[in-house]
Chain A
């Protein structure tokens, strides 16, 4: 600190304004080390892409492609039916969005348009706590509570794990995400639009549905897409409550158990030592991972576009 101050005894000269070389060196060093920490993120992206591609490439070159479109997912027997995993993932994601879409959007509209500040201050943190619940906890909840109490009682499914139980669990998990992005989008709609609508004699419900929601539509799309991406990538809930372990025969019945992409990878990697060196099982892990990465990446880029459109509009 002391060397940056002007010595009052010597008076003030041009020299006092130019940094001393030691100081300048220190400043440059700090700037460069901070810049290096920012580059770490680029390095990580590079490493992710490199690790996924290098092993997935081996898989794609060496695999018998007939086994990639077969009766089910039996990696240890050399049967890598990818459609089993994809269909299971789509079912879980679809159910999750049926649950999270209305719940998240409704909560967001209420918090943004209707809740008084005091109510908002109490309810919002609780929703944020829900967002912080680890996914293993929701996996346990989906298996131990949702399966017997919702899936079995309401849908006549099994009391153990099923795609439906996993889907509802994932839905609960993404509700706070949908709510928070949607609320941000609606908060970004200028108050003047609402005032203009009210001024024309529109009721609150009309203002909300006909003015605020259309104005926030880009942000709502973003919320939906991010939630789909998150649901596709969610692992622990589908692994614990998806109702299948290690292997799965192709099914598109939500009341049965199956392996979504992430659950297929996790059950394969459990005790990873048995994966390494057994045919292509280790590589198949990265092939599925690459597929998941590409899809979620594309979804996230699209969602990012939508978010930016909101910012540009207002």
Chain B
């Protein structure tokens, strides 16, 4: 294909030149350069964003990096004990909830849809439903969490707790997990499956021994992407009731009693909180930038790993 295109282009250019007796295609050049510029603007914005954030965060990050990671929420930005520890713990637990709820259910649903489901109206309805769920604004999931986990099931989840927040975000990323896992499973060659059946495997044995290992990198890429989406989401947490102002308690990472305690903080929310505080105390803008750098390190690493994995396996399998 690529070769045919090349030849087409070359003959095209030669013919045009021959007919018009003109050396260069000025209009075409301008068009191409305009297109490249639009792409470079987007990349430039990304660059400016990262530089801007890092410059703002520089003082905090180089001044007292470990103090910032272990410190807690304070009312003054100059407080030497100001830091993101509570938010890190909250985000850690949200990640655990996403991994425990969204990954098994999402991958299970994807296996069922690709390997077991009959191609009938009911299956089409479920698939349409999942695509629509993926397009629902995140804040609407926040309303669901507020209504269901905070209000209706408050006794179970502890109300405005990290458990409510974690389950809400697990629900939010579920469609992404399902859709990416489905794509990975769909790409498994039919021959592998038939080979497994041919040596007498049952359906589940076939799935476990052929489909899942082959689809694993794709599924893993999807889980990475959905995890990075989950830990970066702020809107649903604000609705589920992340603390505004200051959070009194400072539980450790493995403090299980804090899971359904009536107060929590998370990385994206602490950023919002500090940005809003920067109106009365400008030093908070730097703290917010530092928190953004911490969050971005996780998110960009996960995204980069996902993109790398996908490209690596795409190339390998041609």
Residue of B nearest to A5 (CB): B200
> Quick check: is A194 within 8 A (CB to CB) of the other chain?
yes
> Quick check: is A11 within 8 A (CB to CB) of the other chain?
no
Stretch at the interface among B60-68, B236-244, B250-258: B236-244
Stretch at the interface among A40-48, A61-69, A73-81, A250-258: A40-48
In the assembled complex, which residues on chain B have CB atoms less than 8 Å from the CB atom of A138?
A: 49
CA distance A211 to B130 in the complex (A): 34
CA distance A202 to B16 in the complex (A): 8
In the assembled complex, which residues on chain A have CB atoms less than 8 Å from the CB atom of B296?
A: 133-134, 137
B window 213-246: CB within 8 A of A: 225, 228-229, 232-235, 238-241, 243-245
| Contact code string B245-289 (vs A, CB < 8 Å = 1, else 0) | 100000000000000000000001001100110000000010011
In the complex, which of the residues A16, A54, A136, A233 contacts B139, with contact meaning CB atoms closer than 8 Å? A233
Residue of A nearest to B245 (CB): A271
Indicate if the CB atoms of A125 and B235 lie closer than 8 Å: no
Best-buried of B12, B138, B148 by chain A (most CB within 10 Å): B12
CA distance A144 to B141 in the complex (A): 28
Indicate if the CB atoms of A51 and B144 lie closer than 8 Å: yes
Given A106-B38, A125-B311, A129-B46: A204 touches B235 (CB 8 Å cut-off) = no
Indicate if the CB atoms of A52 and B140 lie closer than 8 Å: yes
Number of A-B contacts (CB under 8 A): 313
For chain A, the count of residues having a C-beta within 8 Å of the partner chain is: 107
For chain B, the count of residues having a C-beta within 8 Å of the partner chain is: 109
Indicate if the CB atoms of A292 and B140 lie closer than 8 Å: yes
CA distance A137 to B106 in the complex (A): 28
User: Chain B interface secondary structure, helix, strand, loop or mixed?
Assistant: helix
Given A4-B205, A48-B144, A140-B53: A106 touches B25 (CB 8 Å cut-off) = no
CA distance A5 to B199 in the complex (A): 8
CA distance A289 to B38 in the complex (A): 35
| Contact code string A102-130 (vs B, CB < 8 Å = 1, else 0) | 11111101110010000001010111111
In the assembled complex, which residues on chain A have CB atoms less than 8 Å from the CB atom of B42?
A: 103-104, 107, 127, 130, 172, 175-176, 179
Given A107-B42, A272-B146, A273-B241: A144 touches B129 (CB 8 Å cut-off) = no
Indicate if the CB atoms of B307 and A48 lie closer than 8 Å: no
> Quick check: is B211 within 8 A (CB to CB) of the other chain?
no
> Quick check: is B69 within 8 A (CB to CB) of the other chain?
no
Q: Which residues does B use to contact A, with CB under 8 Å?
A: 1, 4-5, 8-9, 11-13, 15-16, 19, 25, 27-28, 31-32, 34-39, 41-43, 45-46, 48-49, 52-53, 56, 104-106, 108-109, 111-113, 116-117, 125-126, 128-133, 135-144, 146-148, 150-151, 160, 171, 174-175, 178, 200-205, 225, 228-229, 232-235, 238-241, 243-245, 268, 271-272, 275-276, 285, 288-289, 292, 295-296, 299-300, 302-304, 307-308, 311
